[in-house]
Amino acid sequence: MSAPLTRIAAAEDGVPAARPGSGRTGRWLRRAGRHRVALTLAFLLILPWIAPYQALAVTILVLGLYALGFNLLFGYTGLLSFGHAAFLGGGAYGCGIAIVRYGLHPVLALVAGTLLATLIAAAMGVLAIRTRGIYFAMTTLALSMCVYYGFYQAESFTGGENGLRGINVPSLTLPGLRLSLLDPIVKYYAVLAVVGLAVWLFSRLLSSPFGAALEAIRENESRAQACGYDVRRMKLVAFVLSGALCGLAGALQAIHLSIVPIETMHYSTSGQAVMMALLGGMGTFFGPFVGAATFALLQDGLATLTSHWQLFVGAIFIAFVLFLPLGIWGEVLARLRRAGW
């Protein structure tokens, strides 16, 4: 029986699950599991001081959360989706409409955006999980394009091809606290507080029996089903949770940019999630943020040099797939393991 399936059985029986690995490598893996949230948050805490400028640091935060949501579905469950732009855009539009059309508090707008993305993910997931492999990927792509055109046509709410504008949130008022979001450092750490909470919840999910079940589905879906688990239901829950994380990222992006371009929902934005997750390391906890930072820095740096920056980013991505398939952070972990840490 594979390790994830062993962890499931142990968790269900109330017995501490056996951990893979032994010796120094096993101890390192256990330490890495315990401290993955601390490592991620430590990197994010110093990010605005090492990024070229603070606005880019906020962008990396948002993109990292977006890639983390995608990584939940593909990296941990093994389901390749080309429809995550619908969730990012749904969260962005939900938050923006709540602020611009209804004047809701930014915190409530974040909740509204996340809920809208969750509903979109639930509707898409019910249809998509009936398929497998490349058919699943193509189904998510087709469904996301339906969502794209639906929002494109709802011009009275979404602004149509011009996007949704006027999402102005100059300050954030909480009980006993008022934060000026015009200060880029204050804005960064306000966004980090939300992202940090999402990262912590994501870590708790992966450490639960449900997280072990997702890994079991990724490794051998038929065997997981034979163990008595409702694979289709678990895949749907993973799909919806992935959409919720991406929706939260979209809502934060709307407040950060003060605008929601219709391109946020385009299928090319789904490709960015795939690219960032692969650059950082698929199936790793810290990898999506490394991939997001790499992608954002490449995009920002190359765009100042040439209008054909997408060509160079694509070439770099192909090079990573061919010569560094584990991704940046995945390769770091692999080398540390080989070194006996």
pLDDT of residue 18: 38
pLDDT of residue 21: 41
Q: What does the buried/exposed string (b/e) look like for 210-220 if buried means 16 or more CB atoms within 10 Å of the residue's CB?
A: bbbbbbbbbeb
Whole-number Å distance between alpha carbons of 101 and 104: 8
Q: What DSSP designation does 285 have?
A: S
Count of Cβ atoms closer than 10 Å to residue 189 Cβ = 17
Nearest Cα to 113, choosing from 99, 126, 103, 127? 99
pLDDT of residue 33: 53
pLDDT of residue 334: 86
Phi, psi torsion values for 205, nearest 5 degrees: -65, -45
Please name the amino acid found at residue 111.
Answer: V
Whole-number Å distance between alpha carbons of 40 and 61: 11
Whole-number Å distance between alpha carbons of 54 and 256: 11
Helix (H, G, I), strand (E, B) or coil at 286: coil
pLDDT of residue 11: 39
Render each residue's pLDDT in the chain as its tens digit; 341 residues.
444 444 443 333 333 333 434 444 444 444 555 566 777 778 889 999 988 888 999 999 999 999 999 999 998 888 999 999 999 999 999 999 999 999 999 999 999 999 999 999 999 999 999 998 899 999 999 999 999 999 999 999 999 999 999 999 998 988 888 999 999 999 999 999 999 999 889 888 888 888 888 888 888 888 888 888 888 999 999 999 999 999 999 999 999 999 999 999 999 999 999 999 999 998 888 899 999 999 999 998 888 888 888 888 889 889 988 998 899 988 988 887 887 76
Helix (H, G, I), strand (E, B) or coil at 179: strand
Nearest Cα to 147, choosing from 238, 69, 246? 246
